[in-house]
Amino acid sequence: MLTLYNTLAHKKQKFNPISGKQVNMYSCGPTVYSVAHIGNFRAYLAQDILKRALLHEGYIIKHVMNITDVGHLVGDANLGEDKIKLAAEKEHKTARDVANFYTKIFLKDMKLFCIIEPERMPKATDHIPEMLALIQSLDDKQYLYTAETGIYFDTSRLKDYGKLSKMTFAKLSRYLKAGVRVERASGLKNITDFAVWRFRKRESESDMIWDSQWGQGFPGWHIECSAMSLKYLGNTFDIHCGGIDHIPIHHTNEIAQSEAVTGQQFVNYWFHNNFLTVDGMKMAKSLRNIYSLGDLMEKGFKPADVRYMLISGHYRKKLNFTIEALENVSNTVRGIYLFMQRLKEIKGKGDGTREFAKKVSAAQKGFFRAINNDLNVPAALSYMHLLVSEANKRSYVGSLGAKDAKLVAKVMLDFDSILGLGLEEHYLNAQKKIPPEAMRLIDEREAARRSKEFKHADSIRAELKEKFGITIEDTKDGVKWH
């Protein structure tokens, strides 16, 4: 049974969905004002591991991830500019054009990362009527008031406001006062109060502006997620995902407005991942240490390398990214791919011992025991690497037969249903047809080795790697290439 750390309960709990094997899950998606960086994708990859673990356990998942294309202000304060509008001014485009452009890049990167796409990815701008209806319900229940810059939610009306962060109302107020970076809107009753509708600032402002009974403007960031999750998943659903930076403000305010309207618990399990640092520091444009997947691919890394790196640490702990670490990970991933290809090539009976079958079974049980223990991917990977090491040892001495190799491959593919590294492709495509020029070089190298022209043989090996991406392996059964 899957156990997850529930931020709302502040402890690990056995996962019990509301409706049998049906799981309703919501993810705070990207604000599409720029290319998503690897810190953003650490969250989406952690959620992908969660989703894969649920699917492996036989659950049926309805996953909703929103696209924020309006309303997310710089710094999450009550004054400031919309991130997408700022990007539009900088790029001399409309806000819609900016949002559409970066949404396409995000979806492309999701596919490259082998992230299972959510069943629904609603855009905020397509759900303005639902937001206005939710705001009207809050107004009817007298949770709202009008300030200079918009319509605000009175957080002092809720006795349990701040329960997600385990902060009292007073503590959250002190937290916001200490962390505020820009002037806050005038006329607020409490520093924790937040806008559900923001007024149009100037007459010339026409892009991303809607009519409402409170005046022309646009929705607050928090109301968007509540409106879309309530529409597609119901008043109470199973899992809500996001980064730990969402806990004290965004997710706290989602809970406040949603539960104020419905009178029911909003979400049963809150799933939050920790930060990604780069070279031990917070990612920042000023430090020039922000990487996108595209940036790393330009440096020669594969999406699977970056995926492995970002899932290799426990999702609730900070993970430090370095190019050197990614280079090591790239070698690890390449080694796993070569291992899968070797398994496909193994012939003969081998020993076929029961002892080895027990070791394979133990590795499989250990892997999924770790995954079911709050998605402990580091521990799960250690079981996988133990299996790879044991199988390689037997392969090199000729005691691993075809039957054993198939058993190991089956278990490795089971592991990959969680890891998402694309192992099946490398297993099925072992020793696939290669270009005639590459085959000629392989034969030429063999001739050079037989003539003891080892320098020439080494230069051909390097040429095969550089031109065709082919790795040569000399074994007791002759040359093998991958």
Rg (CA), the chain: 27
- Whole-angstrom distance, CA of residue 58 vs CA of residue 180: 45
Higher pLDDT, 32 or 428: 32
Q: Which helix (H) or strand (E) holds 62?
A: strand 60-65
What's the pLDDT at 338? 87
Beta bridge partners of 27: 65, 241
Interval 224-232 mean pLDDT: 98
pLDDT tens, position by position, 382-395: 999 999 999 999 98
pLDDT tens, position by position, 404-442: 999 999 999 999 999 999 999 877 776 555 677 877 887
Q: Which residue reads 């049906």 in tokens?
A: 22
Q: Please provide residue 172's backbone torsions phi and psi, each rounded to the nearest 5 degrees.
A: -65, -35
pLDDT tens, position by position, 206-224: 678 999 999 999 999 999 9
Half-sphere exposure (CA, 13 Å, Cβ side) for 10? 6
What's the pLDDT at 467? 78
- Whole-angstrom distance, CA of residue 414 vs CA of residue 427: 13
pLDDT tens, position by position, 114-145: 999 999 999 999 999 999 999 999 999 999 99
Interval 320-324 mean pLDDT: 97
Q: pLDDT grade, residue 319 (50/70/90)?
A: very high
Percent of the chain predicted with pLDDT > 90: 68
What's the pLDDT at 40? 97
- Whole-angstrom distance, CA of residue 310 vs CA of residue 307: 5
What letters, b where the CB count within 10 A reaches 16 and e where it falls short, cover 256-268?
bbbbbbeeeebbb
* Token reading at 138: 């809050």
Count of Cβ atoms closer than 10 Å to residue 448 Cβ = 18
Task: Work out the mean pLDDT of the chain and round it to a whole number.
Answer: 90
pLDDT tens, position by position, 265-300: 999 999 999 999 999 998 877 778 899 999 999 999
- Whole-angstrom distance, CA of residue 241 vs CA of residue 244: 9
Asked whether the predicted pLDDT for residue 455 surpasses 70, the reply is: yes
Q: pLDDT grade, residue 181 (50/70/90)?
A: very low
Provide the 8-state DSSP code for 126: G
- Whole-angstrom distance, CA of residue 101 vs CA of residue 124: 16
What's the pLDDT at 65? 98
Higher pLDDT, 398 or 76: 398
Q: 21 to each of 17, 60, 229, 263, 465, how far by Cα in Å?
A: 7, 6, 20, 25, 48
pLDDT tens, position by position, 301-314: 999 999 999 999 99
Count of Cβ atoms closer than 10 Å to residue 299 Cβ = 10
What's the pLDDT at 434? 65
Q: Please provide residue 410's backbone torsions phi and psi, each rounded to the nearest 5 degrees.
A: -60, -45
What's the pLDDT at 168? 76
